[in-house]
Structure 1
Amino acid sequence: MGRMRFPVSRLPRPVPVKAWITDSRLLLAAKTALAVGIAWLVARLVPGVADDYPYYAPLGALISMSPTLMGSVRVGVQTVVSLAIGIVLAGAVILLAEPNVVTIALVVGIGSLIAGSRWLKAGGDYVPVAALFVLIIGGQNADSYSIGYVVQMSVGIVVGLVVNFTIFPPLTIGTAVSRLGEFRALLALHLDEMAQALEESWPPEHEDWAGRSDTLRDTADGVRESLREADESRKGNPRARLHKRDLAVDYSDLYDLESITFYVRDLTEVLSAAIWKKRQFEAELPESLRAPLAETFRAIGGVLEARNAGDDITPAVQAAEAALETAIAHLDEQSDSAHSSLGTAASVAFAARRILAIMRLRTQEAAEK
């Protein structure tokens, strides 16, 4: 994997096309179309009663296509199991009673309950669907219909799995790592904008950072989901042997960033309260402390930039710690100031110290390896 750098002044922007039209999405769409086409051709070659229901093979191929190989296997297996359960439920109605409004509604209800099982998350919806189809569409030919339904769906699922495995099996490690870098860049940008706000005349002209707290949290959630998908995309994937990466390190980085985000959000709330005096609590920040704190924020952002560049972050951490010590020294000189304003500054300094403690621990762990 190459080194990536996301400058603080410019976050990665979405391409002009729709954000959801990505290379991986286009590839999945092409593979799905191919799998459906192949399934339709193969379905016509299946002997026996299944030959009467070729249209279920393309459906099986469609539902088996997933962004990851393990996802495809999971959906395929659970769908076949769900179909079998649904057919058994329908068979019980045919043997013990007869299809009518009450029995059909009862079977669909029972099937829906079974579909909610944690063992059938991916394909559970096909339990009531299969039962309903057998009772309504199968009718007098429920036995042959059931066989044809299961066989052709299985054919389509197998075709989908083969296509997904043989044609560029999806591996999303690069995407996850890139999003992790973007998260660092966003945090660095946020810290830089807060530093600018401290240096400007109050109220500052730029206040986008003040409303970004939820964005930081949502970004963290999105990165964690990307890492989960990347981890799953490696399972059973032959391409993973060529693109080896220890995602445990990336998960550790994310945990650090989530912890840092907690304190950055706290800094955002405190600084916003000090500037606009209209938040949930009142806060004051002496003007003499704004510049030293601004340098501290900017230096902390520099650590994140260094990490994104793949550099040793030890010098950047040391520079940030020195900036914080300077800010604390200025704070100590303000003993004659109002306790409320000193309390706000101390809260800001404490949050910055906790952030740097997280970063310092990372440098120590790296040095021990």
Structure 2
Amino acid sequence: MDTEHGTVRSRAGAWLRSPTNQVDLLQTAKAAVATMVAWALAEMVLELQQAFLAPWMALLTVHATVYRTFWRGTQTVLAVGTGILVSFVVVQAFGTTVLSFGLALVVGLVLARAKLYRDEGMTIATTVVFIITVGYDSSTEQTIDLLPDRLLATAIGVLVALIVNATVFPPLNDRSAQQQIDAIDRRLGRLLGDMATQLRQHSEEQEEDDWIERTRDLSADVDHAWSLVRTARESGSWNPRRRRHPGDELESYPQVLERLEEGVSYVRSIARLVRESDRDAQTWEPMFLERYTDLLAEAGRRVAEPEPELAALREHLQDLGNDLSTEDLSGKLWPLYGALLANLQMIVDVVDDVATARPVRT
């Protein structure tokens, strides 16, 4: 039982130490604070008759970055304002009926496709639903009087969300991108090591298909890392914390990811070459197999823990190629060995670039 509790605590601690999860928790707390403050201002301080719009807007506006909060907030104001006006015009023209509600909703959905509103277009239709089902009175005069309150409540919600997100630990997502790149390095290095180990065992049940599937998973991880890098760059815009945390290393991340993408493709190529050689029942030369798997394992170690000194690895790889040129190999083995050596050489180049380009892991 103590072991199980220890495992749970360990996993919980690892989850809490994750930069991505820390940012998510912080943003969740800030969204809650912004929503409460907006509602308090609209309901208790200004006593707006439709105060529910303020917390709703605040909740919609707290995004992952200050930059996105501002621009999405601006779009939200436009979308909500449009939804309020559509509701006002339709109700004034046709009254509050099921048919007028449907008409206003259709108009809102059509306007939602306009480029002006971009990601917040559906907020127009949502606003129509809220306003007509909750906010209208049978009195035309009162309906007109409520229009400024609705717009003011919307502006309060967006403004509070922007202030909270920009002043209370505005998010910088550099560490999330860094962690994802580190994870890709380790998984790619582990895959190379596993491939080398299994090739040495020369089992009849090789796992080349599993290797290829793992490279596909790594490609998905690289795509996720690209999205984190884009978010990290965006998070620095209009962010006062960027002055204290310049994040210069962030500029090297795209180059690193490009090289890692290439590295994954070379590893996948090696896996496919091995698979095809097994299908053709080709027997590898012991001299080549032993030396190549040693180099493959060493490359995996260098990927997982990047080191800038690769001269010895390059030299051993070149020696293997030179030694093979003096061997009396069959015509089938020459293309296979040449392709395997070429792909491993490319992986070594990737290791070199990754190790020298990024001051990430310390």
TM-score, scaled to structure 2: 0.82
Of the three residues 315, 321, 340, the one matched with 1:322 is: 315
Q: Deviations over 1:264-300 (max 9, x none)?
A: 122222223434x3xxxx5746142222221222232
Q: 1:113 to 1:299 in 2, by over 3 A?
A: farther
Distance 1:285 1:88 in 2: 77
1:104–1:135: 8 Å Cα contact kept in structure 2?
yes
Distance 2:334 2:216 in 1: 28
> What's the RMSD between the two structures over aligned residues?
3.0
1:60 to partner: Cα distance: 1.5
Of the three residues 78, 82, 103, the one matched with 1:81 is: 78
Distance 1:16 1:297 in 2: 32
Provide the aligned length of Structure 1 versus Structure 2. 339
1:360 to partner: Cα distance: 5.3
Indicate the residue corresponding to 1:352 in structure 2.
344
1:61 to partner: Cα distance: 1.6
Structure 2: tracts of 5 or more residues without a match = 1-8
1:361 to partner: Cα distance: 6.2
Of the three residues 274, 289, 309, the one matched with 1:271 is: 274
Q: 1:72 to 1:321 in 2, by over 3 A?
A: same
Q: 1:150 to 1:320 in 2, by over 3 A?
A: farther
Which runs of at least 4 in structure 1 moved beyond 6 Å after TM superposition? 18-21, 204-207, 361-366
1:110-189 to structure 2, matched below 5 A, reads 110-137=107-134, 138=136, 140=138, 141-189=142-190
> SS at the partner of 1:122?
helix
Structure 1: tracts of 5 or more residues without a match = 1-13
> SS at the partner of 2:70?
helix
Distance 1:205 1:211 in 2: 13
> SS at the partner of 2:188?
helix
Of the three residues 201, 215, 218, the one matched with 2:217 is: 215
TM-score, scaled to structure 1: 0.80
Indicate the residue corresponding to 2:55 in structure 1.
58
1:178-327 to structure 2, matched below 5 A, reads 178-203=179-204, 209-246=211-248, 247-275=250-278, 277=279, 284=282, 286-288=284-286, 289-307=288-306, 311=307, 313=308, 315-316=309-310, 318-327=311-320
1:87 to partner: Cα distance: 2.7
One-letter identity of the residue aligned with 1:16: R
2:252–2:357: 8 Å Cα contact kept in structure 1?
no
Indicate the residue corresponding to 2:6 in structure 1.
none
Q: 1:33 to 1:118 in 2, by over 3 A?
A: same
Indicate the residue corresponding to 2:3 in structure 1.
none
Indicate the residue corresponding to 1:4 in structure 2.
none
Q: Deviations over 1:124-165 (max 9, x none)?
A: 211112234344442545434443333212212211221112
> SS at the partner of 1:212?
helix
2:256–2:353: 8 Å Cα contact kept in structure 1?
no
Distance 1:273 1:99 in 2: 71
One-letter identity of the residue aligned with 1:174: R
2:256–2:357: 8 Å Cα contact kept in structure 1?
no
Q: Deviations over 1:100-144 (max 9, x none)?
A: 555543442342233234442332211112234344442545434
Moved more, 127-136 or 247-256: 127-136
1:135–1:142: 8 Å Cα contact kept in structure 2?
no
1:55 to partner: Cα distance: 1.9
One-letter identity of the residue aligned with 2:259: D
Q: 1:336 to 1:201 in 2, by over 3 A?
A: closer
Over the matched positions of the two proteins, sequence identity in percent amounts to: 23
> SS at the partner of 1:25?
helix
Indicate the residue corresponding to 1:16 in structure 2.
11
Indicate the residue corresponding to 1:7 in structure 2.
none
Distance 2:349 2:104 in 1: 59
1:299–1:323: 8 Å Cα contact kept in structure 2?
no
1:183–1:219: 8 Å Cα contact kept in structure 2?
yes
> SS at the partner of 1:253?
helix
1:96 to partner: Cα distance: 5.3
Indicate the residue corresponding to 1:26 in structure 2.
25
Distance 1:83 1:157 in 2: 11
> SS at the partner of 2:11?
coil
Q: 1:336 to 1:183 in 2, by over 3 A?
A: closer
1:296–1:327: 8 Å Cα contact kept in structure 2?
no
Distance 1:271 1:187 in 2: 17
> SS at the partner of 1:244?
coil
1:99–1:135: 8 Å Cα contact kept in structure 2?
yes
Distance 1:353 1:329 in 2: 14
